Structure formats: C-alpha cells, structure tokens
Amino acid sequence: MTKILFVTSEAHPLIKTGGLADVCGSLPKALADLHQDIRLIMPNYNALKTNGHVRYVCSIRVDNREVNILETQLPDSNVLVWLVDCAEFFNLPGNPYTDENGEPWANNAVRFALLCRVAVECAMNRIHQDWQPDIVHCNDWQTGLVPALLSLETNYPASVFTIHNLAYQGLFPSHTVAELHLPGQLWHADGLEFNNMLSFIKGGLVYANKITTVSPTYALEIQTPEFGYGLEGLLTFRQDDLIGIINGIDMEQWNPELDSMINPNFNAATLNKKQLNKTKLQKKLTLPVDAQIPMIALISRLVEQKGIDMVIECLPEIMTHSVQFVLLGAGDKAFEQALQGFADNYPNKIAIIIGYDEALAHVIEASADIFLMPSRFEPCGLNQMYSQRYGTIPIVRKTGGLADTVIDASPETITHGTATGVVFNEANAGSMMEAVKRALLLYTLPTAWHRMQMDGMQKDFSWQRSAENYLQLYQSI
C-alpha cells in the first residue's frame, strides 16, 4: 500500500471552480478504491461544502503564522481531508483565487505559499499524526512550491506534479521571494526564477520526481513553443519524467441512468427518453418546443482558451441553419455581453445563461444533441466525455485531451463503430463552421447518428484506469 499526500487548491464537491476540482475529487477516491492510503490537503475556504463533520487536528506555526489543521472527509468516501485553516487568508467571500469582483486576491502568493508550507509539514510527518507519505502528489501552480521546499529537507518523500493547465503558472514579482522567506538557493534560472519573476509552477516542473499532465497529446504539445509559454525547453529537458494520463470522469455523478438532476433518466437502451429532457429544457428556456430541431450546447468558462471568440464569429452563420443554441457559462464580460446580444436578437433560437450552475449543466448535457467545444488548447477537458456518456455528439478541436477522447466521424469510423464525434483541426472560425455543418448533416442521418451516440455512451471513461496508471507511476519512483 502506497501512502499518498494529495495537495490541491480545490476538490469537488467541497469546492469547485473548474476541472481541477473534478480531478481532485475523483482521483483520490479511485486510488482509495485501489486500496491506497491517500489523504488530501487543501485550504479551509469559507465556501467549503463539508458534510458538517470537521474535527480539529492540531495547530502549527509556519512562517511566523499560527495555522490550525482541521480534518474532514471527501463526501461519500472515506478519504481524509486535512484543511489548512487560516481565516485571514481563506475565510473570505469570493472564490479560491479571486475576490467578489473577479480580481485575483492581491496576496495569492502568500496564501498558496502557506498551503505549500503546511503541506510540507504534513509530508515530513511533523504534525503529530504518525503518518508519513511515500508520495506527495501536487496539482497546478498553487502547490508548486511543495516539491521545491521538500528538496531542502533530508529524507523527504518523492513528489509528483500534475499540470492541469500550463496557462496558469503562478508568476509573481521577484520581491515576492523575500516576502515569502524563500531560501536563496531556490532562486535561480534552473530553480524558481522565470524571466526575473517568481514562478510557482517551476517549483513543480524543476523539483518534482515525476511530472504528469492530463492527456498524452497535451504532454507532447507543451514541449512546443505554441503551448509551452516559454517552459517548453524545461519540459523537453524533463521529457523522460513527463507523462500524460488522461482524466477519467465521475461515472456515478455523470450517469444519465442515475443522474438525479435530470428527468427522465435514460441509458443506451432507452435513448429515446433523451428527447423528453430536451423538450423540457426548451420549455424552461422559452425556446420553441420541437424534438426534431438540433440543439447545440456549450458549457464553459467564457475565455479565449475555450474558443468563445470563434463561436461568436460563427453564430450569425449558425443562425442561418435550423438549430437551437444553448450556452451556459461565465467569464470575460465582453464575451458575456456579445453572447447576450445574440440571444436578444434571436430569442427563438438562442438561450444564453450567464452564471455557474451545476444542475443546469447536467440538464443541458442530457438534453442537447450536439456539444460544441472548440478549444484553442485543452489539457484534458471533461465536457466532451460527459457529452459522449449522455448521447450528445461533441464537436471538438483536435488538441490535447479532446484529440485523445473523441474519434472523428468518417465513413470508416462510423462503420467500425469507433466514431463518437466531429473533430476539426484549425483554431479558426472557418474550420469550426465546417465541423458544425458536418455535424448538422450527420444529424439528418438517423442510423449513423444513433450509432455514434451508442458508441460514445458505451466508452469507458472511468477513473479506475487512470488511477491504475497513477499508481504504476508512484510505484516506479
């Protein structure tokens, strides 16, 4: 049995801002199911949704600050979660990274450095729990200082650092190094320095024993200038320690047969019931109720990474077709306003819901015919997998995890029963529009469409396979 300390800034269902939380809520459970001794550590945010059972563990002093460590469990599991309790940093409104106005917390460096320092205390068995991990598994920049700080210890556990999205690196002005009381020996070009900035993520990329990222294609892409943000040299240097492991999805939460947020439930054998979800959603969104009209959906953070600008560019042409377009998302105000403008102009064809709504996300997946995910880059992506499970055909760009999880429809792949979506190559509106048209054409071919739905619904996206890959990696160190 391997002992694993899993360090993260968010984990579903305790708190979630994006896909990172989905992974950090699911992978630990899957590792526990493989009989591994895994514990999480994360900040005690005021918005944390625990099941009420929170226990005081101890108080420790780190970097001249008194911090409590509390303990709870990942809901619906036996996985223990240590909470770093520091009211000044974490008991705040807003989300884990930004204030109520969406601005990054000004003290993010200090906040997450504290998480890292407490994680190191736990990893070094200095919190009186008689538990020392074999592996410390860190996730994204917020935890990047852990491998760096561990490297200063003696007899320290091995570390794995997972890149969920290289676009977020935790870069801070160089004077932050002194503010965080980081030892000078970490501050150099082969350490935490990046263009005279302090880079949290480099702590993971330089000092962790192994680096993983969330799909094999993204592991290759980040070694190129287009996706590497200047870190491609370092990642290429570390290529022997860098592997891509595709994320699973939570097969219980995202199961159309049992999903309590949708009505009626359905499975591959009762796929005809999917339409009832669609007509209910049409009513709810005051769109014309019509089971035949193809409904294209998009659920996403509204940021450039997700290709929202391309969607906006294509919407006028999409509107020339007989379709409905449903979008749930929040993010850049300019995108929100542009999309809202389209909804005002096409009230019978477009419904835009600005906000974050987990339940509605399930309903949309259950209702839509087509799911659009034209990301410029996508480390793994989850919605294209949820879509396949719900019989909703994804249109994706051939990048990262999208390339690894969706098989493009062609006469051959449809015949062989492998096609599960429509894939396009170039990150531009023209290429995306061609894919939309191709999907709409396929929609008019019921046999091919049904075949693709069935093939997608039967794919194994479970965490078990991914967890086995992580376990193999831990054991290889």
Kindly list the residues in this chain that would bind ligand ADP in the complex (CB under 6 A).
18-19, 22, 299-301, 328-330, 356-358, 361, 380-383
Q: Which residue of this chain has its Cβ atom nearest to ligand ADP in the complex?
A: 19
Which C-beta is closer to ligand ADP: that of 86 or that of 311? 311
Cα separation, 244 vs 311, in Å, equals 29
CB nearer to ligand ADP: give 159 or 383.
Answer: 383
Q: Rank residues 282 and 300 by Cβ distance to ligand ADP and give the closer one.
A: 300
Minimum CB separation from ligand ADP for residue 261, in Å?
A: 11
C-beta closer to ligand ADP: residue 22 or 85: 22
Minimum gap (Å) between residue 152 Cβ and ligand ADP = 32
Q: How many whole angstroms separate alpha carbon 231 and alpha carbon 108?
A: 22
259 DSSP 8-state letter: -
What is the smallest separation between the CB atom of 41 and ligand ADP, expressed in angstroms?
21
- Least distance (Å) between residue 248 CB and ligand ADP: 12
> What is the Cα–Cα distance from 296 to 84, expressed in whole angstroms?
42
The nearer residue to ligand ADP, 179 or 357, going by C-beta atoms, is: 357
Closest approach, Cβ 373 to ligand ADP, in A, equals 8
Indicate the residue among 22 and 309 with the shorter CB distance to ligand ADP. 22
State which residue, 281 or 361, has the beta carbon closest to ligand ADP: 361
What does residue 113 show for φ and ψ, rounded to 5 degrees? -65, -35
Q: Which is nearer to ligand ADP, 339 or 440 (CB)?
A: 339
Q: Least Å distance between CB 172 and ligand ADP?
A: 22
Question: Would you say 373 and 384 are in contact if contact means Cβ atoms under 8 Å apart?
Answer: yes
- H or E element in which residue 308 lies: helix 308-318
φ, ψ of residue 474 to 5 degrees: the values are: -55, -45
| Shorter beta-carbon distance to ligand ADP: residue 89 or 218 | 218
**Sheet of 242-244, strands arranged across:** 55-62, 65-73, 80-85, 37-43, 3-7, 135-139, 158-163, 210-213, 242-244
Shortest CB 22 distance to ligand ADP, Å: 5
CB nearer ligand ADP, residue 104 or residue 288: 104
Residues 394 and 409: their CA atoms lie apart, in Å, by 11
Q: Would you say 407 and 458 are in contact if contact means Cβ atoms under 8 Å apart?
A: no
Cα dihedral across residues 230, 312, 314, 419: positive or negative? positive
Give the three-state DSSP class for 243: strand
Q: Name the burial class of residue 275, with classes exposed (0-12), middle (13-18) and buried (19+) by CB atoms within 10 angstroms of its CB.
A: middle
Residue 122 vs 166, nearer CB to ligand ADP: 166
Q: Which two tokens stand for residue 167?
A: 């676009």
Closer CB to ligand ADP, residue 310 or residue 361? 361
DSSP of 380-413 = S-SHHHHHHHTT-EEEEESSHHHHHH--B--HHH
Give phi and psi for 343, each to the nearest 5. Answer: -60, -35
The span from the CA of 371 to the CA of 66, in Å, is 48
Question: Nearest approach, Cβ of 358 to ligand ADP (angstroms)?
Answer: 5
Q: At closest approach, how far in Å is the CB of 222 from ligand ADP?
A: 15
Q: How far is the CB of 246 from ligand ADP (least distance, A)?
A: 12
Read off φ and ψ for residue 373, nearest 5 degrees: -145, 75
Strand-pair partners of 163:
213
How far apart are CB 178 and ligand ADP at their closest, in Å? Answer: 33
Please give the angle made by the CA atoms of 474, 378 and 101, to the nearest 5 degrees.
Answer: 105
- Min separation Cβ 328 and ligand ADP, Å: 5
Instruction: Give the dihedral sign, CA 27/366/391/300.
Output: negative
Q: Are 363 and 340 in contact (CB under 8 A)?
A: no
